[in-house]
Chain A
Amino acid sequence: MSKISHHLPESVLAAYAAGSLPYAYAMVAAAHVSMCAECRAIYEAHQCAGGLVLDDMEGMAVSQNTRRQLMDSLDLEAPPEPPAPRAFGVYPAPVAELLGDGGPRWRKVGGGVRQQILHYDDAGSIRLLSIPPGRAVPDHSHGGLELTLVLQGSFSDETGQFGCGDVEVGDPDLEHTPTAGEEGPCICLAATDAPLRFRSLVPRLIQPLLRI
């Protein structure tokens, strides 16, 4: 846990604390912060700053009705709180919650690489990737920002080596070929806000099927 060397940029943590990250990135941020005390401290520091902005607001009177309803509801029995999500295997709590019981349901995407799309909407996608030792994900670039968090094993590409807990921040102009380390399968959580673009023809043809 202490060996995390690639962190989320502070702007991403600030945006996460402010609640302005699109869902897919927020999921990667939640997972990384679950694994990295350093980034959790930065995230919570931004919450403190948000609190100061709140505290500095010039107040607007709240109606007596709201106040009374609130005071009346203090004695009501609270609906049972759902148990706090827990980590499952290599999956930090927020990811485990999204996965549901039983862990990932992998689908083959070629070259021994498997994936599960966890969420997909107009704002982007979030998926899990499992890459066999020594294998590569097809060379691709992407339209927007890509955040890739390593949950197990490691991968390396043109920009460096990424181990468990590390995040790679892929700018739109990054073209890379992530290759899993030899020590075992590499499992990653990847978020994008735009479809990936593969350079060779075949992946480009199947891309709509992969929905990535």
Chain B
Amino acid sequence: MTPDQEMTEQTRWMLAVRDERDKRAFVALFDHFGPRLKAFVMRGGTGPELAEEVVQEVMLSVWRKAHQFDPTRAQVSGWIYQITRNCQIDKLRREKRPLPEMIEEEADSGPDAGDIVALEQESAHLKQALHRLNPEQREMIEKAYLGDLSHTEIRRITGLPLGTIKSRIRLGLERLRHELKSMREI
């Protein structure tokens, strides 16, 4: 099996949207994430109408900002999660969320499919770990990532086994830094 076939279908859809502006792949992404997004936003206390507005806005950003998607640093759900939280904060709190400086890669510097699959495998492990938690712990994790815990309360969730994901992402960042460095040297 080639690494390409081992990628999750979400990643393949997202890469088709990013690289080929494939609308069918976008519809598939929408059918997967749209309903989950709506549930996620409503869980945070937003009414159904505004929630649909957020879903629409987030998915439109997914289409328009697809070039920013880097599968060696985020799985699709994590990338969409970030867009969603930015959108919610801009919309509901009416403040612009401070974001880190962007490190964008050149379009033609395709990352290694092995790196993509490796990050996906790590998130699959984390997902299994989340499923093994007891219901109270699960609820705490959910509340934390919905943004319902304060930064002092959130200390309680930092025991998550994120170690290997972190090192995977760090590898992705190092690759980018290396590319940027060689670009500057040209």
- Using a CB–CB distance below 8 Å, which chain A residues touch chain B? 10-12, 14-15, 17-23, 25-27, 29-31, 33-34, 37-38, 40-63, 66-67, 69-71, 73-74, 78, 81, 84-87, 92-94, 98
Q: Mark B140-171, 1 if CB is under 8 A from A, else 0.
A: 01101111111110110110101001110110
Q: Which residue of chain A has the shortest Cβ distance to B88 in the bound complex? A: A19
Q: Are B78 and A47 in contact (CB under 8 A)?
A: yes
9 residue pairs of the A-B complex, CB under 8 angstroms, read A11-B154, A45-B162, A48-B162, A51-B81, A51-B82, A61-B38, A62-B34, A70-B60, A74-B60
For the complex, give the distance between the alpha carbons of A46 and B1 in Å.
30
Question: How far, in whole Å, are A38 and B166 apart by their CA atoms in the complex?
Answer: 8
Chain A residues near B146: list those with CB within 8 A: 18, 53
- CB-CB < 8 A to B173: which residues of A? 37, 40-41
CA distance A154 to B90 in the complex (A): 34
In the complex, besides A19-B86, A94-B101, 9 extra interface pairs with C-beta distance below 8 angstroms are A19-B97, A25-B151, A41-B170, A49-B160, A53-B40, A55-B36, A66-B56, A92-B101, A93-B102
Cβ of B154 and Cβ of A74 under 8 Å apart? no
A interface majority secondary structure: helix
Q: Enumerate chain A residues within 8 angstroms of B28, measured Cβ to Cβ.
A: none
Return the CB mask of B18-46 against A: 1 if under 8 Å, else 0. 00000100110010011111111011000
Q: Which residues of B line the A interface, CB within 8 A?
A: 23, 26-27, 30, 33-40, 42-43, 52, 55-56, 59-60, 63-64, 73-82, 84-86, 88-89, 95, 97-102, 104, 119, 123, 126-127, 130, 141-142, 144-152, 154-155, 157-158, 160, 162, 165-167, 169-170, 173-174, 177
For the complex formed, measure the closest distance between the CB of A127 and the CB atoms of chain B, giving whole angstroms.
14
- A37-B177, A53-B146 as given contacts; A62 in contact with B99, CB under 8 Å: no
B98 touches A26 (CB 8 A): yes
Q: Are B26 and A20 in contact (CB under 8 A)?
A: no
